[in-house]
Amino acid sequence: PPPGRATRPARGPPDGPAQPAAPAEQLAEAPPVAGQVLVDRPNPRRAAPPVLTFRMATFNALGSSHTHKGGRRKQKAPGSARTARAGQYVMDNNIDLIGFQEMQADQRSAFMNATGGRYALYPGNELRSGDGENSIAYRLDTWELVKADTISIPYFGGNPRNMPILLLRNKQTGI
């Protein structure tokens, strides 16, 4: 020790120096010191989390503006007719969530009519028409809307476009 510092003796149990720990086998066979011994140890793990299975799709609706008389794809059926068929396809295949691109206002109406109000669309017609072209559809009997938001991203020519973000909760599992 440095000069001028006192030293203390090492402390141990009051009845003498510490002893090495007993092997685990001896401890397992020894009678309990106090309390009860658990014979069947409870499982410390939580129950398995619920499983959530759902069908999700992405769907480019090819905007109506491409198929009208002046459009580049005028040989195709009108946008509202194509989207009505898409709505039937979505229902026939039990799709729960759909991310749509190029879904213009007349197509959003056609989808909602074709699906008989079984789906919600966000942003749909809630924001600027151009923002609704990229909408998320979700089944109302399956999902509860927790939060709807958008994030602005640079789109064609660097023009800002609000893209949808949804937080949904499954009505059956709560997930």
pLDDT of residue 128: 80
pLDDT of residue 32: 62
Cα four-point dihedral sign 60, 121, 108, 131: negative
Average pLDDT on 8-12 reads 50
CA distance 22 to 4: 41
CA angle centred on 154, ends 148 and 158, rounded to 5° = 150
Strand order in the sheet with 97-101: 56-60, 97-101, 136-139, 119-122
Please determine, for residue 171, whether its predicted confidence score (pLDDT) is greater than 60: yes
* pLDDT tens per residue, range 115-125: 999 999 999 98
Please determine, for residue 2, whether its predicted confidence score (pLDDT) is greater than 70: no
Please determine, for residue 151, whether its predicted confidence score (pLDDT) is greater than 80: yes
User: 98 near 59, Cβ under 8 Å?
Assistant: yes
* pLDDT tens per residue, range 72-117: 666 678 878 888 899 999 999 999 999 999 999 999 999 999 999 9
Choose between 12 and 47: higher pLDDT: 47
Adjacent-strand bridge partners of 119 = 139
Residue where the block lists tokens 């759909």:
98
* pLDDT tens per residue, range 128-145: 878 999 999 999 999 999
pLDDT of residue 70: 64
pLDDT of residue 36: 61
pLDDT of residue 44: 63
Average pLDDT on 30-59 reads 74
CA distance 77 to 82: 6
